Amino acid sequence: MVIIASSNGDVGIDAAWAILEQGGTALDAVEAAARLVEDNPEDHTVGYGGYPNLLGEVELDASIMDGTTLRAGAIGALRGYRHPITVARKVMEELPHVFLVGEGAARFAAELGMPREELLTDVAANVWREGLNGKLPEHFRDRSGQLIKSMLRQATHIATDPERAAGTVNFIAQDQKGRIASAVSTSGWAWKYPGRLGDTPVIGAGNYADDRFGAAACTGWGELAIRASTARSVVLYLQIGYTLEAACQTAFADLLAFVSDPAQTIMSMVALARHGNHYTISTAPERTYIYRADGMDTFATLPRVFVEPSRLTASSQTA
Ligand code: GLY
């Protein structure tokens, strides 16, 4: 058994481990863990308490993938429900679809009987107001001080903060039967344009799992992982025989090849190969991740491999 997660998964990893220890599935473990992060009001990058879009609305994205069957479920721009990961799992299990967004996603959550609630906490609302006040010139506001809605497309270039695009939670688990599952959840890029989706709910971009080879999940600037199909790339590189390290490094090199300013680019990834070995990588220094495997009494917080974006090159190193 093994579980690997982004560091903000510390509130969920013990619950996931308990499920694995009791013989539960990797799928149940990653969902349970992600739900606990979605519940955490201190985490402003995931679930309840997440930072909102430009209009002050919290919009949540999540996806889950079952590496045994390659079934997946995803939810984008969900408003009013704190557990997009569970809605995503229900899409996977109850609908003939993979991906629901916006009003359809909210309709489905309501149909499932989930409670509707305000997800914007006072703390997150204050940061949002201060952030907009600090960054947007006066002419973006009307007389009452509200952001002029026809100016959102200009505002999104000025107000969004790439630092805050980096927050997301990743969980990848392998259970006693060797089954792999992955779950990713986020409130996305703070002060994003309403309806913006990142890589988190895009299967193949921010999340991919396949028992036969391994799994990968991303945090960071989702637009890049969408363009490079990063999580799926890692698994595909494993499939053609790369080592896990080479697969991750090459997927990052693919992604950074088209970035105009690599120094400003923050991307991180956790990955697991089918034999249970793992690898983590980040373009930002001093980033950590958490990990637990058989024989460990508790989870460990460990440093990620830091890569200077300019030093990454595609690799053909194989196992
Ligand atoms: N990686 C999360 C996002 O871009 O929304």
List, for residues 155-166, the tens digit of each pLDDT value. Answer: 787 766 655 556
Atom of ligand 1 nearest to the CA of 192: 5
CA atoms of 122 and 227, how far apart (whole Å): 34
Which region among 29-33, 88-92, 140-144, 311-315 has the lowest average model confidence (pLDDT)? Answer: 311-315
Ligand 1 centroid to residue 215 C-alpha, Å: 18
Nearest CA to ligand 1 atom 4: 222
Best substitution site from 199, 218, 266, 283 to test ligand 1's pocket, by max atoms within 8 Å of Cβ?
Answer: 199
Q: What is the mean pLDDT of residues 202-222?
A: 97
Which region among 84-93, 170-179, 198-207, 252-261 has the lowest average model confidence (pLDDT)? Answer: 252-261
CA atoms of 227 and 206, how far apart (whole Å): 11
Atom of ligand 1 nearest to the CA of 206: 1
Q: What is the pLDDT of residue 164?
A: 56
Amino acid at 18: A
Q: What is the pLDDT of residue 316?
A: 46
Domain boundaries, the chain: 2-122+159-314
CB of 265 within 6 A of ligand 1: the answer is: no
Q: What is the pLDDT of residue 153?
A: 84
CB of 213 within 6 A of ligand 1: the answer is: no
CA atoms of 48 and 223, how far apart (whole Å): 23
Ligand 1 centroid to residue 284 C-alpha, Å: 15
State which H helix or E strand residue 75 sits in. strand 71-78
CB of 120 within 6 A of ligand 1: the answer is: no
Q: pLDDT digit string (tens) for 223-235?
A: 999 999 999 999 9
Q: What is the mean pLDDT of residues 299-316?
A: 80
Is 168 a catalytic site residue?
A: yes
- Kindly tell me if the per-residue pLDDT of 211 is higher than 70: yes
Q: What is the pLDDT of residue 193?
A: 93
Classify burial at 102, counting beta carbons within 10 Å of its beta carbon; exposed 0-12, middle 13-18, buried 19 or more. Answer: middle
CB of 84 within 6 A of ligand 1: the answer is: no
CA triple 230-235-241, angle to 5 deg: 125
Ligand 1 centroid to residue 143 C-alpha, Å: 33
CB of 45 within 6 A of ligand 1: the answer is: no
Q: pLDDT digit string (tens) for 79-95?
A: 999 999 999 999 999 99
CA atoms of 162 and 160, how far apart (whole Å): 6
Best substitution site from 78, 189, 191 to test ligand 1's pocket, by max atoms within 8 Å of Cβ?
Answer: 189
CB of 219 within 6 A of ligand 1: the answer is: yes
Residue 160 neighbours by CB under 8 Å, 6+ apart: 189, 190, 191, 192
Q: What is the pLDDT of residue 138?
A: 77
Atom of ligand 1 nearest to the CA of 166: 1
- Kindly tell me if the per-residue pLDDT of 318 is higher than 60: no
DSSP three-state, residue 306: strand
Q: What is the pLDDT of residue 128?
A: 86
CB of 220 within 6 A of ligand 1: the answer is: yes
Q: What is the pLDDT of residue 163?
A: 54
Q: What is the mean pLDDT of residues 243-270?
A: 89
CA atoms of 224 and 26, how far apart (whole Å): 28
- Kindly tell me if the per-residue pLDDT of 49 is higher than 80: yes
Q: pLDDT digit string (tens) for 60-69?
A: 999 999 999 9
Best substitution site from 45, 60, 168 to test ligand 1's pocket, by max atoms within 8 Å of Cβ?
Answer: 168
- Kindly tell me if the per-residue pLDDT of 264 is higher than 80: no
Ligand 1 centroid to residue 267 C-alpha, Å: 10
Q: What is the pLDDT of residue 148?
A: 83
| CATH superfamily, with its number, for domain 2-122+159-314 | (Glycosyl)asparaginase (3.60.20.30)
Closest by CA to 177, choosing from 15, 65, 29, is 29
Average pLDDT, the chain: 92
One DSSP character per residue, 16-35 reads HHHHHHTT--HHHHHHHHHH
The strands making up 288-293's β-sheet, listed across from edge to edge, are: 99-101, 71-78, 60-66, 180-186, 169-174, 2-6, 288-293, 300-303
Q: What is the pLDDT of residue 261?
A: 77
The model carries a pTM of 0.94
Give me the catalytic one of 168, 186, 265, 280.
168
Handedness of CA 206, 151, 125, 127 (dihedral sign): positive
DSSP three-state, residue 228: helix
Confidence bin at 319 (pLDDT 50/70/90): very low
The encoded tokens of residue 187 equal 């409130």
Ligand 1 centroid to residue 22 C-alpha, Å: 32
| Stronger pLDDT, 134 or 60, i.e. the higher one | 60
Ligand 1 centroid to residue 196 C-alpha, Å: 10
Which region among 22-26, 82-86, 127-131, 183-187 has the lowest average model confidence (pLDDT)? Answer: 127-131
